[in-house]
Amino acid sequence: MLTASGGAGGPDTVRRLNLPRPLRVEAGDDGTPRRVQHRGQTARPGRWRAVVQVRERYRVDDRWWTDAPVSREYFELLLDGGLPFTVFHDRIDTRWYAQRDG
């Protein structure tokens, strides 16, 4: 059983890497991110950064036969300043998340 990183797990807890982190995204009419609120590794709200290029856009639909289906639309972005950044739109809870592609 895996638990989330950063949690108050027990002494020998296994921490998952690359867990999705909620973030704010401003998307265009076609659902493509235009700006993201990038906060780096800090907990403070970050500054908004413009999306320079959408390198990839793809869907991941999985476990639709279970009680915990996964339906995500991933965007591999290049942010202002040349920073590669991956976000996805969770099509179930309709929120945006940042995620490193481990």
Closest approach, Cβ 43 to other proteins, in A, equals 19
Binding mask 59-78 for other proteins (x = CB under 8 A): xx-x-------x-----x--
Length of the chain: 102
Assess 34 for contact with other proteins (CB under 8 A).
yes
Q: Which residues pair with 92 in a beta bridge?
A: none
H-run or E-run covering 12: none
3-state secondary structure of 84: strand
- Residue 102: helix, strand or coil by DSSP? coil
Asked if 43 contacts 64 with a C-beta cutoff of 8 angstroms, the reply is no
The nearer residue to other proteins, 52 or 92, going by C-beta atoms, is: 52
CA distance 17 to 78: 22
Task: Write down the least CB distance from residue 60 to other proteins, Å.
Answer: 5
Contacting other proteins (CB under 8 A), which of 7, 22, 26, 69?
26
- Residues in the site for other proteins, rule: CB under 8 A? 2, 5, 11-12, 14-20, 26-31, 34, 47-48, 50, 52, 55-56, 58-60, 62, 70, 76, 84, 99-102
